[in-house]
Amino acid sequence: MRFNKVFWVWGLFPSTETKILNEIKALVQSKLKSPDFETHITIAGPYLNIDKSFFTKLKTFGENSSVIMLNFDGYNFKQEMFKSFYISIKNSRNIEELRKNIYELNKFDLKKNYLPHISLSYGNHDINEKKKLISKLPVFNKPIKMSKIALVEVDEKINLWKILESFNLN
């Protein structure tokens, strides 16, 4: 079940990785039109509401957590609005631990099937166009550094993805 207005915890990347990912995203979006959104990996949520103490806990958590390396697992797509076309990320013990630790700060549906990915396009696009596009994208075989976590307000009804605050990982 999807909720229109919720909060999520995203992982963000340093400027070097963001630049590369944004170039790939721009190439994808030149073929698959999409609403505009910040390049990210969703880590935790959704939260129907949050309070000020969660900000504080998340900031402290970020200060005490290490940067995580994410391993590329190819380009992929689904026939779903928010998983329309993406970079698949190999699930790892580090990602699972990060999610579990954030769960301890503020509960969310941890048991829900989690698919680590970096979205490149949102929308309902033609399958054949997606298949053709994969062959035109650069091979990305280096790990991607996730250096921040961010608390994000999302309202899918109006295509709003607003980063409320981000916290550096050490």
pLDDT tens sequence for the chain (170 residues): 566 789 999 999 999 999 999 999 999 999 999 999 999 999 999 999 999 999 999 999 999 999 999 999 999 999 999 999 999 999 999 999 999 999 999 999 988 889 999 999 999 999 999 999 999 999 888 899 999 999 999 998 899 999 999 999 99
Instruction: Measure the CA–CA gap between 121 and 79, rounded to whole angstroms.
Output: 12
Which residues does 105 contact at the CB level (< 8 Å), separation at least 6?
54, 57, 58, 61
Spatial separation of the C-alpha atoms in residues 59 and 93, rounded to whole Å = 22
Q: What single-letter amino acid sits at 86? A: Y
The two tokens of residue 160 are 């709003």
CATH domain 5-168 topology = Cyclic Phosphodiesterase; Chain: A, (3.90.1140)
Under a CB-based contact definition with an 8 Å cutoff, are residues 28 and 85 in contact? yes
